[in-house]
Chain A
């Protein structure tokens, strides 16, 4: 019977080709839009999180601020080996930890200058660093030597520098004086979106020298867990454990450290060292908000378009029911139950919904595939927002299937009301309908 039902539904759809093509096309367009926007957002999020959790943040970070006066602040963790020891003891989920210097400096070349957020790295103890960075010129191993820096392509281009060229860094120390250091470009890496717009990596000891810091001082300890989903739980445990160990620990706040450094911490009335335990989500909070905002806008757009599609479905079914009222009456007369009439109309819409969404998914896959294959380079300003150098759609089969099914389900749900109306027609009224 299902075969015959499908045949009736399919042939009824085919009978009004233009009307149903228009409606199916609208549904396909909404599906394609939803899938593409979802894939774009996922691409941005993936690119950002993939690079950020190696380059900018661990799954959990133990950072902190040192304040000589209440109005000043430096992103420092003093006596970090002791902190690291305490952390290791409390985090059995730990895969590995890295130590990163934090700072910012004005980078001055012979031609131009720019501000850079600096991360002090010890490449010998950075197991995943080389997996994320794609060095296009120079040698990443050379970044182990004192007085070296790694720039991204965009920065090197802007500063007009090549590998082995020298760059002067000028940075304010915690004591309020400016230090300078000449550093050699050890490697140039391919841009990784937002991060490469303002971040550069410098040999860890060189950063300490620039800021006049002791070898036991660093910017943050990045913790990489075997399962990143444990991050929030581990961070909460560490706050308690470090406080119990006698450290002053800041209250959790979902902001990246540089925002705290510029806004919150200098306005707080305390001096000395405080530790700040954050998660990758905290550090990437603004980016997450941007993604969330994008998803909200996408959702609103899709809702508006779906309202149009739902109105279209209601209208189309109303016309179909009017056209087929006599047929419904005859079928009811020969013994078709009401629920069967309802089923036939719902099935018709379900078929249209599935075909429409399938076509939309196919279009989205084709567009995404073509764009990914073409490797369309984004303008620098757009790179900052999209967190990627090239336009890239990340196609997640599960998410695509969910999008398509939700839209098809909405279409089916929209058909229930008119289908119920058709099913409730009295056979005698329907049979003698004139229309």
Chain B
């Protein structure tokens, strides 16, 4: 069953009076629990596709269905609510709130959701910080952490609401290869542990090798989709 369904989606941007197509008639279905990598060169449309799936942008044509909801039919408020409750975001440049501590950054989406007691929030946040290996830095501000540590905080923030879907736009682009590898391993572990669907973009072959499925995108079009897990299984046979 698909958690994300992109149907004949196109997205155009206006550059002055010139129409620049970013996506052209893209269709994609992502099943629950997938660990999907979107690969392609810079400017190929990876980020645009993630933005549309993440409901932070709207398509010029076609439909985007997330968790069974046609995003075109939702109000701005309902889209925000969908993002809050269903989708977690991991950004290339982390985008943590600089004036909050690590703990508070991770706790913040829970505060936006409301409904949990302070104790419940604290337990969930501390468990996640422990899971991503950053519990000892709970009181630190993001500026006191390394890039890899910040991305771990971002992962914890993305997962704290227990979303069905996590979107990560070039999560390792600002990290060295070893740290990037660790971050992908961490994401994969969370995918395995909780069954959370991950869609992440990258143009690093080492990173995309970790994915269960790989979608290649070129010039705004999906050029291929490979089931890497199936290939691995077939290779191992």
List the interface of chain A (C-beta within 8 A of B).
1, 4, 7-8, 11-12, 15, 326-327, 329-338, 340, 426-428, 431
Q: In the complex, are the beta carbons of B108 and A333 less than 8 A apart?
A: no
Chain B hits for A333, CB < 8 A: 54, 56, 83, 89
Q: In the complex, are the beta carbons of B85 and A335 less than 8 A apart?
A: yes
Complex partner residue of A431 from B83, B95, B114, CB under 8 angstroms:
B95
Complex partner residue of A335 from B76, B84, B91, CB under 8 angstroms:
B84
Chain A hits for B104, CB < 8 A: 4, 7
Complex partner residue of B99 from A7, A326, A335, CB under 8 angstroms:
A7
User: Is the C-beta of B29 less than 8 angstroms from some C-beta in chain A?
Assistant: no
Chain B hits for A426, CB < 8 A: 56-57
Rounded to whole angstroms, the CA-CA distance of A361 and B80 in the bound complex is 42
Q: DSSP majority for the A interface? A: helix
- Shortest C-beta distance, A109 to chain B (Å), equals 75
Q: In the complex, are the beta carbons of B57 and A334 less than 8 A apart?
A: no
Interface centre among B93, B99, B108 (most CB of A within 10 A): B99
Rounded to whole angstroms, the CA-CA distance of A426 and B55 in the bound complex is 11
- Shortest C-beta distance, A339 to chain B (Å), equals 9
Complex partner residue of A15 from B81, B99, B113, CB under 8 angstroms:
B99
Q: In the complex, are the beta carbons of A8 and B97 less than 8 A apart?
A: yes
- Shortest C-beta distance, A256 to chain B (Å), equals 62
Rounded to whole angstroms, the CA-CA distance of A328 and B97 in the bound complex is 9
User: Is the C-beta of B100 less than 8 angstroms from some C-beta in chain A?
Assistant: yes
Q: Which 7 A-B pairs have the closest CB atoms?
A: A335-B84, A330-B95, A11-B99, A427-B56, A428-B57, A428-B56, A335-B83
For chain B, the bracket of interface size reads 20 to 34
Chain A hits for B195, CB < 8 A: none
30 contacts between A and B (CB under 8 A): A1-B114, A4-B108, A4-B111, A7-B99, A7-B100, A7-B104, A8-B100, A11-B99, A326-B93, A327-B98, A329-B95, A330-B89, A330-B91, A330-B95, A331-B97, A332-B56, A334-B83, A334-B84, A334-B88, A335-B80, A335-B81, A336-B80, A336-B112, A338-B77, A340-B112, A426-B56, A426-B57, A427-B56, A428-B56, A428-B57
- Shortest C-beta distance, A338 to chain B (Å), equals 7
| B142-183 contacts to A (CB < 8 Å) | 157-158, 161
Q: In the complex, are the beta carbons of A337 and B54 less than 8 A apart?
A: no
Chain B hits for A332, CB < 8 A: 56, 80
Q: In the complex, are the beta carbons of A337 and B91 less than 8 A apart?
A: no
Given known contacts A337-B80, A428-B51, A431-B91, A8 and B99 CB-to-CB distance under 8 angstroms: yes
User: Is the C-beta of B62 less than 8 angstroms from some C-beta in chain A?
Assistant: no
| B87-118 contacts to A (CB < 8 Å) | 88-89, 91, 93, 95, 97-100, 104, 107-109, 111-114
- Shortest C-beta distance, B139 to chain A (Å), equals 13
Instruction: Name 13 extra pairs, CB < 8 A, besides A8-B100, A329-B95, A335-B84.
Output: A4-B108, A11-B99, A15-B98, A326-B95, A327-B98, A334-B109, A335-B80, A335-B112, A338-B76, A338-B80, A340-B112, A427-B56, A431-B95
Chain B hits for A329, CB < 8 A: 56, 95
Chain A hits for B54, CB < 8 A: 333
List the interface of chain B (C-beta within 8 A of A).
51, 54, 56-57, 76-77, 80-81, 83-85, 88-89, 91, 93, 95, 97-100, 104, 107-109, 111-114, 157-158, 161
Rounded to whole angstroms, the CA-CA distance of A7 and B88 in the bound complex is 24
Complex partner residue of B112 from A7, A8, A327, A334, CB under 8 angstroms:
A334
Q: DSSP majority for the B interface? A: helix
Chain B hits for A337, CB < 8 A: 77, 80-81
Chain A hits for B108, CB < 8 A: 4, 334
- Shortest C-beta distance, B50 to chain A (Å), equals 10
Interface centre among A11, A327, A332, A428 (most CB of B within 10 A): A428
- Shortest C-beta distance, A372 to chain B (Å), equals 42
Rounded to whole angstroms, the CA-CA distance of A398 and B162 in the bound complex is 51
Interface centre among B80, B84, B158 (most CB of A within 10 A): B80
Across the interface, name the chain A residue whose C-beta is closest to B161: A335
Rounded to whole angstroms, the CA-CA distance of A427 and B51 in the bound complex is 9
Chain B hits for A8, CB < 8 A: 97, 99-100
Rounded to whole angstroms, the CA-CA distance of A65 and B109 in the bound complex is 81
Rounded to whole angstroms, the CA-CA distance of A15 and B97 in the bound complex is 13
Rounded to whole angstroms, the CA-CA distance of A1 and B111 in the bound complex is 6
Q: In the complex, are the beta carbons of B56 and A327 less than 8 A apart?
A: no
Rounded to whole angstroms, the CA-CA distance of A331 and B112 in the bound complex is 10
Q: In the complex, are the beta carbons of B113 and A335 less than 8 A apart?
A: yes
- Shortest C-beta distance, B140 to chain A (Å), equals 14
Rounded to whole angstroms, the CA-CA distance of A337 and B91 in the bound complex is 19
Chain A hits for B57, CB < 8 A: 426-428
Interface centre among A12, A327, A330 (most CB of B within 10 A): A330
Rounded to whole angstroms, the CA-CA distance of A331 and B161 in the bound complex is 14
Chain A hits for B80, CB < 8 A: 332, 335-338
Rounded to whole angstroms, the CA-CA distance of A11 and B107 in the bound complex is 17
Rounded to whole angstroms, the CA-CA distance of A331 and B83 in the bound complex is 11
Chain A hits for B100, CB < 8 A: 4, 7-8, 11
Q: In the complex, are the beta carbons of A12 and B99 less than 8 A apart?
A: yes
Chain B hits for A431, CB < 8 A: 56, 91, 95
Rounded to whole angstroms, the CA-CA distance of A15 and B143 in the bound complex is 13
Chain A hits for B161, CB < 8 A: 335
Rounded to whole angstroms, the CA-CA distance of A12 and B93 in the bound complex is 20
Chain B hits for A338, CB < 8 A: 76-77, 80
- Shortest C-beta distance, A337 to chain B (Å), equals 5
Rounded to whole angstroms, the CA-CA distance of A312 and B97 in the bound complex is 25
